[in-house]
Chain A
Amino acid sequence: MGMLEAILLTIATAATPLLIAAMGELVVERSGVLNLGVEGMMVMGAVTGFVVAYSTGSPWLGMIAAVLMGAAFSLLFGFLTLTLVTNQVATGLALTLLGLGLSGMMGRSFVGLPGVKMSAIYIPGLSDLPLVGKLVFGQDPIFYISIALVIGVSYFLFRTRAGLTLRSVGDSHKSAHALGIKVIAIRYAAVTFGGACAGLAGAYLSLVYVPQWVENMTAGRGWIALALVVFASWRPWRVLAGAYLFGAVTIGQLHAQALGLGIPSQLLSALPYLATILVLVLISRNRRLTMMNTPASLGQPFVPDR
């Protein structure tokens, strides 16, 4: 395996969890809900995935359990913000804190144990192709799910009636309600989808990225996913671009640090954030497009008059 191929593979590994979590949050925000609990849902997914995979020996069961845990955890958020109409920002922050604490407790006796790694797919012939072989045909299954998610979410939002309905709820829940659209039900569905994605992203960390459990192992990735959604102006393909750019600069700066270029390491560590923000700001300079894609009722609670 060549050096370049190895770097490209690590970039994909760094980008995939961000991409999955961000795609989920994109759908949530398109429906007009701001869930700042991505980090908490991710870390719950990570611990659940690890514990179930370790106990059963099946990374697949671990992955499924992580998705279910993420969804269940997001339903808690949904119940609080949509049914009880609590403040979305505060509730999201609380969800993150709860997730970090709860996962630490759940995974206490699993710290440092050898995990079960989800094996990469191997297609004889194709996976052996030079350079692109392992990159395109030899990745782990969750990588392929992440790409399918981008295609699926993009198609759903912009080509289907259900996606149009979801976008309309995010644009103006009052208008949507007046048309007889079930605003709360749609938001519940979106929030649950977002939670499931965050759970899956967490499982990727504990089953593929580093197959073990370490407390707080998401290390802020949930927050980066949140930022990606906003900077990508709520467009799926831009989220993909942003996630991979972030992954690329992260890996690139690690190699640069290893080479010892004499640039302060703190600056290099900050580089992925700076580069991603810069590029996404540049591509969203078209204010008209940004306004069109920004869910106008994002974060506003919906209470129908009765």
Chain B
Amino acid sequence: MNIGGAVDDSHAQSSDTRGNLLEVRGLTKVFGSLKACDAVDLTIARGEIHALLGENGAGKSTLVKMLFGSLEPASGEIRWKGQPVRITSPGQAKALGIGMVFQHFSLFEALTAAENIALSLDKETPIPAIAEKARELSKAYGLPLDPSSLVGDLSVGERQRIEIIRCLLQEPELIILDEPTSVLTPQEADKLFVTLERLRSEGKSILYISHRLEEVKRLCDRATVLRHGKVVAHCDPRKETAASLARMMVGNEVTQVTRTGVPRDGKAEPLIEVKSLSRKPAGPFSIPLRAIDLTVHAGEVIGIAGVAGNGQGEFFEAISGEALQDAAGSVRFRGRDAGKLGITERRLLGAAFVPEERLGHGAAPAMRLSENLLLSRFRTDANAFLTSVGVVLNRAISLASQRIVADMDVRKSAEDPEASALSGGNLQKFIIGRELDRKPAVMIVNQPTWGVDAGAAARIRQALIDLARSGSAVLVISQDLDELFELSDAIAVMHDGQMSKPIPIAEATYEKIGLLMGGAEPGHAGHEHAKELA
């Protein structure tokens, strides 16, 4: 069997009348009292790229999980090539010709790329033959890949290539891509679009899930928009504007974040100073930090861009005190050495931290919101929450907790629910609110709006800008470039454990940042600009 067999798709046309590959009628899925999908209709024609749009929690993932057999619909019908089918397992979906590239990759970190690919092939193919086939296919689609590399060592973009090649090797007729560009640099995303257009020209259908409206307009032939589990529109995205698509998704206008200019008189006090911060890799799959320098002044928001897995997590751990430094002066808050201080001591210096992982890191899942509030602030706000002998003042905590819930518009099902009972977006609002409520002089946030819907995201971003303008220093690590452009005064880029000089927002372009994210001139591009400004 040669590579031609894997790509050629001649049998697809002959199998039935040309027309719709997949028809979904009235598909419904209920979780408890929530209708995650409510009578959803969806039609995908052969050779089209069909966008599935919606905010987080709109039911996109639930819908595709039903199409891929990992969830069972409560009611409704799925027709594949005109025939009604019941898809009860991912294996069956694959046998029908449905392939899926997951948002949270379904790869095995401890196995090689070739072994990962071999696992999804049904035939008993020897591993060396798979490596060869994968290599050829990766060349044919311009997706460079070394089959013998260990997945745990690869960047997220490379992992996605494995997912895509793995999916293509199964010769699917429908490929479902779940937020494929959220982890890619703009340049990598462009390459992906070329691949997708090529697949379309070969007659394959693609269901494309994304919340990036510009790329949907550019790539997709048709779109289905979901809101609260219901289909609100079928449309041609090329005839819509990004704003009109956003309105369909959200149901009303999204408030714009306003960013007033910073007074750049050069007198602002540096509140966060990172000086030649280096760190050895903590585990076999983690990134070392290489001599990072960064200063954030009072009144500023600095954004840190980068493809996931380039050391942002390690940087956050080092700066928040989850990992201590050898040199006390490598991290300084408000002019005081903090390198050897733990998290609580750094918090006592006026710093606040919001880690990426909400459950287990940002909040204790099985504890109530008020208890989580106390856990993070019992030292910094000891006077407010504890008596002099350390007895908990329940009433004060409950009042503070209610204030945060009201300020951030946290939607919850009970008076004081456990953290794990909140949806991801609402928990994030609570965690951010919990830190903002302290009015910290230094605020460091990793992925502030990951998984948060558009309205709440705008609220969080505005709150961060307002905090900075009131005289605090704000550092935001994010994979979402749009977000960084919306709220930062300057953007630095992390690549392979190194950090570029911050590029002032007036000079930053997607292209410039994208090149740095891809590793062009690591640590140096934008240097002159920064110097001129300094």
Residues of A within 8 A of B (CB): 161, 164-165, 167-168, 171-172, 174-182, 287-288, 291-294, 296, 304-306
Contact = CB atoms under 8 A, between A and B. Distances in A.
Main SS at interface, chain A: helix
Contact of B70 (A181, A294, A304): A304
A180 B100 CA distance: 12
Interface stretch (B103-111, B231-239, B384-392): B103-111
Given A180-B89, A287-B284, A288-B284, A175 B108 contact: yes
29 contacts: A161-B118, A161-B124, A164-B119, A167-B110, A167-B111, A171-B109, A172-B106, A175-B105, A175-B107, A175-B108, A176-B108, A176-B119, A178-B70, A179-B106, A180-B91, A180-B94, A182-B91, A287-B283, A287-B284, A291-B110, A292-B150, A293-B110, A294-B110, A296-B109, A304-B70, A305-B65, A305-B71, A306-B71, A306-B72
B115 interface: yes
A175 B106 contact: yes
A233 to B, nearest CB: 12
Interface of B: 65, 68, 70-72, 89-94, 100, 102, 105-111, 115, 118-120, 124, 127, 150, 152, 283-285
B283 A178 contact: no
Given A179-B120, A291-B285, A171 B110 contact: yes
A137 B285 CA distance: 46
Given A288-B284, A291-B283, A177 B110 contact: no
Given A165-B119, A180-B91, A171 B108 contact: yes
Contacts of B93: 180
B522 to A, nearest CB: 24
Contacts of B71: 305-306
A254 to B, nearest CB: 40
Given A180-B94, A287-B284, A291-B285, A305 B109 contact: no
Q: Taking chain B's interface residues, is the majority helix, strand, or loop, or is none over half, making it mixed? A: loop
Contact of B108 (A172, A180, A288): A172
B70 A305 contact: yes
A289 B453 CA distance: 41
A181 B105 CA distance: 16
A293 B108 CA distance: 12
Contacts of B110: 167, 171, 291-294, 296
Nearest to B108: A171
Nearest to A306: B72
A3 B108 CA distance: 51
Given A168-B119, A287-B283, A291-B284, A177 B90 contact: yes
Nearest to A294: B110
Given A178-B90, A179-B120, A180-B120, 12 more contacts: A161-B118, A161-B124, A164-B127, A167-B110, A168-B119, A171-B109, A179-B90, A179-B106, A180-B90, A181-B91, A292-B152, A306-B71
A111 B121 CA distance: 54
A230 B102 CA distance: 32
Contacts of A292: 110, 150, 152, 284
Most buried by B among A167, A171, A175, A296: A175
A171 B90 contact: no
Contacts of B118: 161, 164
Contacts of A287: 283-284
Nearest to B153: A288
Nearest to B120: A179
Interface centre among A165, A171, A172, A178 (most CB of B within 10 A): A178
Contacts of A181: 91, 119
Contacts of B111: 164, 167-168, 171
Nearest to B126: A161
A211 B422 CA distance: 61
Contacts of A305: 65, 70-71
A163 to B, nearest CB: 10
Contacts of B120: 179-180
A177 B70 contact: yes
B32 to A, nearest CB: 13
Kindly name the residue among B92, B105, B107, B119 whose own CB sees the greatest number of chain A CB atoms within 10 A: B119
